[in-house]
Amino acid sequence: MDDKHISSEFIYRGVDVTVILLTLFLGSPYTNFYNIEGYLLAGLSAVMIFGLVGRFTDIYTSWSGRPLRDEAVRVTIAWLITFLTLVFIAFITKTSEQFSRVVLVAWLLVTPILLITARFILRKLFAHLRRLGVNNRSVAIVGMTQNGLHFARDLENRPEYGYNVVGFYDDRTDRIHEEVLNHYPHLGNFEDMIASARNGEWDQIYIALPVEARKRMLHLLDELSDTATPVRLLPDYFTTNLLHSKFIEIADNPVLCIYDSPFSANNAFIKRVEDLVLGSIILLLISPIMLAIAVAVKITSKGPVLFKQTRYGQKGEKIRVWKFRSMTVCEDGDTVTQATRGDSRYTKIGEFLRKTSLDELPQFFNVLQGTMSIVGPRPHAVAHNEQYRSIIPGYMLRHLVKPGITGWAQVNGWRGETNTVYKMRKRVEFDLEYMREWSLWLDLKIIFLTIFRAFTDKNAY
């Protein structure tokens, strides 16, 4: 975090400390047994653990321009890790009886709400100050290209992010348009830009040159390495795809993987352990619910309790996906009609099962078998795969990883019926983004969001 934002980090940490301690101590005196030393030690320990976990979950990095939802999830998980760590310490030290269960539960539930509320208020305050020009960062863009102009307009439309576009540098007159000059100043050619960077006139410089100007770009980067101004690249479409790829080394030669599984051997092992551990725990917890659903399906409609449909798994291999039967039909052929809102084929409890995603619970057995993962691109019926693979570029890249019970597309609202190509294209975009950005943290985040959205998603039917 640069010097300008040290103060904002200090403010966030101070607010977090205040919230964690106040939430604990406001409730503690009203218990029958009040041990101020024990609660003080617990509060200070929580502050230290939360600060340490917060560093690893990036809740104290600059969140300017990034969604509050992502920050809220990170804050909540950081607090859950903190609380569970304290409970474990209390258990092994045999000191848990010193604390009121009511106070601890209230502390667990209220603290993340107040932490997120405080961050929301601070965001609004900082955004207002940035609109007034306080603590803004000056940004110069190199190359008056469509990519650079699009970026400048986006920053201009979001003043709360705190970026002020001072103008463009370019030495090609054919890229300097009258319409642009009426909106953004032309600050000079590339030599002028280098001189300005050496003088430290701007907080950040963004290079928006096309990939064809590689030689010019390398020259500029070489010159800018002699300055103390942060330099960033605005990639075009081709470069963006390359940046989403990864390098591996074969026979001492660097190789760029354009289309490949995002999981190295180590990552694949981590994800499999995640599936086995979390899958086993979840199955143990939901087994009574699954038993009740199985009985309900059996007594409310004729047919099997489970419906097994053929779908594509990893590497395009066919797998049998398990679900509780929610319809009077069991389609699994060349033609599969997607479920629609109020579908006449629903059983008596079928629509409820689908809306709440309870029909998907048997897929945890698929996870333990190894044909699916808890998190990954949702598997589609074979008929739908064949339909969309020829329409949507990159559609089959989803099958470089195991399909999942839930996924990045689903928690972002792209769930349910895909009755238009646009909806399926958006789902595929999020699936591919998940594959590019995969981490254990992202999986935990998706699982967390799925739990809270399963019963509220308007697209579920």
CA torsion sign, 381 to 352 to 322 to 431? positive
Q: What average pLDDT does range 16-21 have in this prediction?
A: 93
Question: What value does the mean pLDDT of the chain take?
Answer: 81
Q: Are 420 and 336 contained in the same domain?
A: yes
190 plus 324 within the same structural domain: no
**Are 27 and 84 members of one domain?**
yes
* Domain housing 193: 137-243
Q: pLDDT band at residue 1, thresholds of 50, 70 and 90?
A: very low
Residues 22 and 109 grouped into a single domain:
yes
Write down which residue in 67, 96, 131 finishes a domain: 131
- pLDDT for the residue numbered 265: 67
Handedness of CA 389, 395, 400, 404 (dihedral sign): negative
Residue 105: inside a domain: yes
Angstrom distances, CA of residue 134 to CA of 2, 4, 12, 66, 129: 16, 11, 18, 19, 5
Rounded mean pLDDT of 324-346? 63
Residues 343, 327: Cα–Cα separation, whole Å = 9
In which element (H, E) is residue 26 found? helix 6-27
Give the Cα separation of 431 and 148 in Å (integer): 27
Q: Does residue 253 lie in a domain region?
A: no
Residue 374, φ and ψ in degrees, nearest 5: -65, -45
pLDDT score of 47: 92
Give pLDDT, residue 117: 93
Residue 44: band (very low, low, confident or very high) from pLDDT cuts 50, 70, 90: very high
Q: How far is CA 407 from CA 391, 413, 456, in A?
A: 22, 10, 16
pLDDT over 90 at 338, yes or no? no
**Are residues 44 and 24 both part of a single domain?**
yes
Q: Is 256 part of any domain? A: no
CA dist 321 and 319 (Å) reads: 6
What CA–CA distance (Å, rounded) separates 303 from 286? Answer: 23
Residue 461 — very low, low, confident or very high, per pLDDT cuts 50/70/90?
A: very low
Q: Which of 138, 151, 142 is nearest to 191 (CA)?
A: 142
Q: Which of 131, 157, 188 is the last residue of a domain?
A: 131
Q: What is the pLDDT of residue 4?
A: 44
Per DSSP, the residues of 401-459 read S--EEE-HHHHTT--S---SHHHHHHHHHHHHHHHHH--HHHHHHHHHHHHHHTTT-TT
Task: Indicate whether 250 belongs to any domain.
Answer: no
Report residue 68 as tokens.
């509050």
Say if residues 461 and 354 touch (Cβ distance below 8 Å): yes
| CATH at 221 | 3.40.50.720
For residue 458, is it within any domain? no
Mean pLDDT for 437-448 is 88
Percent of the chain with pLDDT strictly greater than 70: 81
Whether residue 182 is found in the same domain as residue 319: no
> Which has the higher per-residue pLDDT, 408 or 178?
408
- The 10s digit of each residue's pLDDT in 21-42 is 999 888 776 666 667 788 888 8
Q: Are 423 and 414 in contact (CB under 8 A)?
A: yes
CB atoms within 10 A of CB 2: 10
pLDDT tens profile 150-197: 888 888 887 777 788 889 998 876 666 665 667 888 888 899 999 999
**Close Cβ partners of 368 (under 8 Å, ≥ 6 residues apart):** 275, 276, 279, 280, 283
Strands (E), 252-312: 253-257, 306-312
Side chain identity, residue 253:
N
pLDDT value of residue 125:
85
Q: Which of 130-139, 186-195, 223-232, 381-390 has the largest mean confidence?
A: 186-195
Q: Which of 456, 455, 380 has its CA nearest to residue 424?
A: 380
Would you state the pLDDT for residue 2? 41
Q: How far apart are CA 221 and CA 208, in angstroms?
A: 12
- Looking at the fold, whether 106 and 145 belong to one and the same domain comes out as no
- Cα–Cα distances in Å, from 94 out to 42, 46, 89, 446? 14, 18, 8, 35
Q: Indicate whether 323 belongs to any domain.
A: yes
461 found inside a domain = no
- If asked whether residues 389 and 269 sit together in one domain, one would say yes
Counting the structural domains of the chain, the total is 3
95 with 23, same domain? yes
- How big, in percent rounded to 5, are the helix, strand and coil portions of the chain? 55, 10, 30
The answer to whether 440 and 274 are in contact (CB under 8 A) is yes
> Is this structure's pTM higher than 0.85?
no
Q: Which domain-ending residue is among 190, 209, 243?
A: 243
